[in-house]
Amino acid sequence: MKILIADDELVSRKLMERILTGYGECEAVESGTATLEAFKTAGENHKPFDLITLDISMPDMSGLDVLFQIRAMEKQKEVPADKRTVIIIVTASADKDTIVTAVQSGCNDYIAKPFDRDTLAKKLIKLGLVNPSETGSQKGETSLLKKSARVNDGSAAPPVRPEENVIVKAVKDVIEAFKKGRIELPAFPALIQKIQEVLRMPDVTLEDIAVCIEQDQIVTLRLLSMANSVHYGGQGKVKSIVQALTLVGIKDTKSIVSTIAMKSLYKADSAPVKAVMDKLFLHAIATAYLARAIAKKYNGEDEDTIFLLGLTHDIGKVLLLHAMTLNLTAKGKFPEFKLDDIMAVIQTLHAGFGGAVFQRWGFDEILIKAVNTHEAPGISADSRNMVMILYLANMLTRRIGFSMFEEPPPDLSDVLQLLSLNETDVAPILAEVQEKVQATAGAI
């Protein structure tokens, strides 16, 4: 069986490739354009793909657009229905309308993230790509989950890694608990809301802002530390919040206060998890400063809102990691797993979960959409500016070492062009943000 895996997200792509490799020859691509090119080349070589797993959200072109074009090419070449490539849409949201549209556009089935071997195996058997063994048929089960399973070309399917299924189940348990209200979400930091309210007051003074900040002792001490840092040049002379406000400025003060307040959500009960949380926090700070700098350059979005969006865009990842750690620890299973495997599962659906958290917190619809799609928003001329800015900021963190990924970002020329920016605009922004992140992280 010849298989094409299309997903711009590295972790999800590698997971799918690892599962499907035992069932056939796999080729992996990371964009809609590359998917179409691979499909055309395979057809021209008279070696078409038997199966394509197609992520619905990719930055250059949506999976639905790719699906539509593939079916149009098959129709043009008069490929019989039973000879057409089987296409499985992969989605993180499982939104009913999206799935209906995908089916109407010609997909054969869909699979929701996070997926595991068991779920994928059942889809392959249902679609007639893999045959169950005699033993599996007699028991009404698939043989793909057994080490002795065989695929339709006679090769052995890879054995199941039990830990993968446990991790996926833990994620699903967390999401189900969230949906049913059994999981207690942390409240959005009250100090951030209070600062916003104070700044909206007519004739607000530095003293009014200082009184608000001084209600939180930890934030007060860290803000004073920041003002006295080399970056702001206080040199130990700043003794009050009013002085800090004068030196740092109201805009930077608001950003710093928001950053300090959000830090409380990055909690961990073990050193390995704390190390991951620290990296996630640095990534959040970098995304926030990059988003604000891009918004300022673009001159079309509220810089304070976009900063807060950048600071909180990965809240789904943070809360899932914390909840999963508690879940697996309570079952006595946490020491059995590699943290990288846990993060790989979280990566596949944290954006949708984060969007749900934003909805619960009462954020505007455009902010919810930006968080929902920040990994792969399907950039086009119709995309909202805030969505594009967050996506660009999130990707640019990879260039300055504040991302969870070491791989370079995908081609960003389209989104830069839509925001009326170019690579010469990006270089000074990256230099400025790198300095700010280091200063902020050092003080906090």
Q: What is the mean pLDDT of residues 115-135?
A: 75
User: Between these two residues, 178 and 78, which has the higher pLDDT value?
Assistant: 78
Residues of the chain with CATH 3.40.50.2300: 2-160
Q: Residue 367, Cβ neighbours under 10 Å: how many? A: 22
User: Between these two residues, 100 and 356, which has the higher pLDDT value?
Assistant: 356
Structure tokens at 256: 């710093």
Classified as helix, coil or strand, 395 is helix
pLDDT, tens digit, 9 for 90 and up, residues 395-412: 999 999 999 888 888 889
Place of tokens 């992996």: 28
Q: Residue 351, Cβ neighbours under 10 Å: how many? A: 27
Distance CA 386, CA 366 (A): 8
Q: What is the mean pLDDT of residues 22-32?
A: 89
Kindly indicate the confidence band of residue 36, based on its pLDDT and cuts at 50, 70 and 90: very high
How large a percentage of the chain has pLDDT more than 90? 24
Distance CA 274, CA 381 (A): 40
Q: What is the mean pLDDT of residues 64-78?
A: 90
Structure tokens at 181: 């209200």
Query: Can you name the residues that pair with 109 across neighbouring β-strands?
Result: 88
Distance CA 17, CA 3 (A): 9
Report yes or no: 130 and 151 within 8 Å, Cβ to Cβ.
yes
Query: In the predicted model, is pLDDT for residue 161 greater than 60?
Result: no
Classified as helix, coil or strand, 110 is strand
Closest alpha carbon to 254 in 283, 286, 288: 288
Side-chain half-sphere exposure of 277, counting CA atoms within 13 A: 20
Distance CA 222, CA 213 (A): 11
- Provide the residue count of the chain: 444
Query: Amino acid identity of 125?
Result: I
Distance CA 394, CA 325 (A): 25
Closest alpha carbon to 316 in 124, 134, 174: 174
Q: Supply the pLDDT for residue 163.
A: 56
pLDDT, tens digit, 9 for 90 and up, residues 319-366: 999 888 887 777 776 666 788 888 888 887 788 888 888 988 888 888
Report yes or no: 264 and 319 within 8 Å, Cβ to Cβ.
no
Distance CA 362, CA 199 (A): 20
Mean pLDDT (the chain, rounded): 82
Residue range 2-160 forms a domain whose CATH class is alpha beta
Assign residue 421 a region (left: φ > 0; alpha: ψ between -120 and 50; beta: otherwise).
Answer: beta
Q: What is the pTM of this model?
A: 0.67
Q: What is the mean pLDDT of residues 204-226?
A: 86
Kindly indicate the confidence band of residue 39, based on its pLDDT and cuts at 50, 70 and 90: very high
Residues of the chain with CATH 1.10.3210.10: 161-186+265-444
Residues with Cβ within 8 Å of residue 242, at least 6 apart in sequence: 206, 207, 210
Distance CA 143, CA 136 (A): 5
Per DSSP, the residues of 287-333 read HHHHHHHHHHHHT-S-HHHHHHHHHHTTHHHHHHHHHHHHHHHHTT-
Structure tokens at 96: 């009913």
Q: Supply the pLDDT for residue 377.
A: 72
Q: What is the mean pLDDT of residues 176-205?
A: 81
User: Between these two residues, 128 and 443, which has the higher pLDDT value?
Assistant: 128
Q: What is the mean pLDDT of residues 119-125?
A: 86
Query: In the predicted model, is pLDDT for residue 158 greater than 70?
Result: no
CATH label, 161-186+265-444, candidates 1.10.10.10, 3.40.50.300, 1.10.3210.10, 3.40.50.20: 1.10.3210.10
How large a percentage of the chain has pLDDT more than 70? 89
Distance CA 337, CA 168 (A): 12
